[in-house]
Chain A
């Protein structure tokens, strides 16, 4: 029986080539894009779940600070994890990971690499997490404090095909590390990404030499702590116990509160389970579902609309004995066949689109057909859409009353015209929402790019000077002679994304219990003028000796601590104290998603390791070459790497830019698929109304009358869609904009543009069919009746 169904289905496909092609193209595009997005979503959800014990591993984070400055810190103090393991039976193991910024270059024979993906870690790193050691001793990954475990591809990079075990890598030309193990490369969906792991014990020894004892230090919050817990541990009770341990050692930190974030969540959530990417994943999931629904609607619409043309066949089958269930199966098989074809084409399409999609989304997804996850997504998507598209038409078609259908009495009520209209409106609601989304996102990104940052970042590149900094004056003089170099200054860190923060603050008039966290930056005397920053009060640094006891606040800082007449008052942050000599106007040193934070600027020539060079733009390459030559002169083999402030600034919005370009494509695809459906429906309507059109023409209607008559019905639906989509899109995009501290307001023209675009595209689609029907010779059409 199935064979018979398939045969009929196939003949139907071939016979109605136009509709089959519309259906297959729409479904193929919808399935391919839908599945691609779902791959992306699945990848996001899969982060850090590959660890065997993922369910029981948590990252220890904490709340710190009071009032407005209270925030979550992902890193903790060094001793807390170790103490927890010693004292609490529910803590099975602990891993501490510290960022390794002690070395800038690594050498093996003549190969030198700069590498910033180096970490200090406890040996338990390799037993708690599932990063398998492929050579070396898994039970003892580090032989001694001077061991290093490297990844496979790092081993390849340094040693080629030689056995890496026992080889010596020299860090910064002074410290030897012997390779004691090789670990497989970290999976793409791991939040932790390192090339080399050095023992935490080395770090502790290294810091002891600088008279900092990390094993009893509750001030330095720069170590990630992961705890492996016994299954069923109460997180609430545990965080209370951790607080007690902390307080016992450092009684001042009464505002600390520990949080335990499951590692499977750390990619998408903050420790308090607020958004860290989950919203975007949800948005994409919704977009994928919308696109799939749009594709399904096409199929449902076309197959129900065309059911009228099949009523005779169906009635006949009933009369010669087909049961309803048999007919139902026949239509399910028909839909399934079409889906099968589309699915195969979609898989081929995905294969070719994958590199493009990866480039757009910044991911490295692999279309690996041996991975069961891939099949899960594909099978679920296809069966879901198949189910959604097949049932209604199958029920509708199999429930014809045969006699009426045979007599052609069924035309008006079949396939419920209203229902089809609702579906078309739904499609366009989705499409218009996506268009509005695209417009809003693009405008917001343009707004960010063009917004006055409060400083001039044009044509400026920057790099850490290292030893070159000791000869700054000579370097400066030399560089200023170069063609293309306009100006030079320096500070202790890059102006974009300043990250020095202190909560140890004091000032004249501080209220008891008031806490205040401030960004710190040390700058050269000409820094403010270099960046064309404006003073709101007082003056800048002059380079005089006593400037080291002076400081400058930004407006945000003055406002937050409520300082009146700040100039001349005393202020202290960390161990830097001094008199306020000026207030600089606010400028954006972080992403526009954040409000401008308070900042304090010191003049401290020995801390100024970061150089900024402004060029003419045209001669930038010459300036870079000159800077590189000087850098090599003082730093020897250290790799030279510079960043343009513009690029670094754009990096802050890389995520949004990817969203924006992806949205562009999604919106285009959604409206494309919707229009395909519209094309099919318009063609069908023209076909059904051929006789009516013929009569109208005989009575004197012109081509334009007929075209407008046919188009109006559809354009009306798009208009309704605009009305429905507007408030929904407005709400959704307001939500999205809320992430930005500085944002555009949503304007009515955005909806107008989206609506007009939808109408124009829909009209072009329909009018093609409408005109074709309108110019047909009425004598011919009427005769064929």
Chain B
């Protein structure tokens, strides 16, 4: 599904190159659940952002669902990720001005779904996450765990093949975190969503099928669970 070959990301500082990602190659099959670990500054988030096409590598080859991403134009790339990728953030990043319902609905609006379709899809999602009662509340009125639930619902609403999560439980207490991880596992097993998550927590990493350890922009180790 995803193939990164010799991907590097560096910044030019004076005469020297400062590598954030240093020659990483990675293959991801559909249906995998990968946890990326590593200390601060090891390049986890940058790698995730490159996979999610929010960031561009300085060099290397990037293939995704059969497309040659590094050769695509901005528009095509954004069409690609709109269609296949969902994002979940540590700080949830819900839109404060929109209700729960509207937050979940927004990606559909941008993908030109008809109003009746949107209604059905959002209702379905609210039902599935058991947040129907909260649909008219604003993010500020929700707990962190609830907000992250909405964030995940939003990421999933358009039916992505790949879910990218950047420390999804980082701002949550352990109980809430566990619930989110259970949800990820379920999504991966039952719905076949490929998941790549960045995490600091050993425990959360073990929900995945593979753990990749980064250090100084390189893959230090990779183990299949």
Contact = CB atoms under 8 A, between A and B. Distances in A.
Nearest 9 CB-CB pairs, A to B? A321-B110, A321-B82, A320-B107, A11-B97, A322-B110, A316-B93, A321-B107, A313-B95, A403-B54
A8 interface: yes
A320 B54 contact: no
Interface of A: 1, 4, 7-8, 11-12, 15, 312-313, 315-317, 319-323, 326, 402-403, 406
Interface in B31-63: 49, 54-55
Contact of A403 (B55, B95, B158): B55
A729 B78 CA distance: 52
Interface string B91-124: 0011111100010011101110000000000000
Contact of A317 (B49, B55, B95, B96): B95
A1 B112 CA distance: 9
7 contacts: A4-B102, A7-B102, A313-B96, A313-B97, A316-B94, A402-B54, A403-B55
Q: Decide if the interface of chain A is mainly helix, strand, loop or mixed.
A: helix
Contact of B109 (A4, A402, A403): A4
A1 B109 contact: yes
B154 interface: yes
A319 B54 contact: yes
B87 A320 contact: yes
A586 B192 CA distance: 104
A406 B89 CA distance: 11
Contacts, number: 49
A319 B106 CA distance: 11
Interface residues of B, number: 23
Given A320-B87, A322-B110, A403-B55, A312 B93 contact: yes
Contacts of A326: 110
A321 B155 CA distance: 10
Given A15-B97, A313-B96, A406-B93, A320 B106 contact: yes
B44 to A, nearest CB: 14
Contacts of A15: 97
A306 to B, nearest CB: 13
Contacts of A4: 102, 105-106, 109
A1 B82 CA distance: 17
Nearest to B104: A320
B154 A320 contact: yes
Contacts of B78: 321, 323
Contact of A316 (B95, B109, B111, B158): B95
Given A320-B106, A403-B54, A8 B111 contact: no
Contacts of B95: 313, 316-317
Contacts of A7: 102
Interface string B15-31: 00000000000000000
A403 B20 CA distance: 16
A12 B93 contact: no
B49 A323 contact: no
A607 to B, nearest CB: 84
B142 to A, nearest CB: 16
A319 B52 CA distance: 9
Contacts of B110: 317, 320-323, 326
Contact of B87 (A1, A11, A312, A319): A319
A411 B40 CA distance: 24
Contacts of B105: 4
B166 to A, nearest CB: 10
Nearest to A313: B95
Residue among A4, A11, A15, A319 with max Cβ neighbours from chain B (10 Å): A319
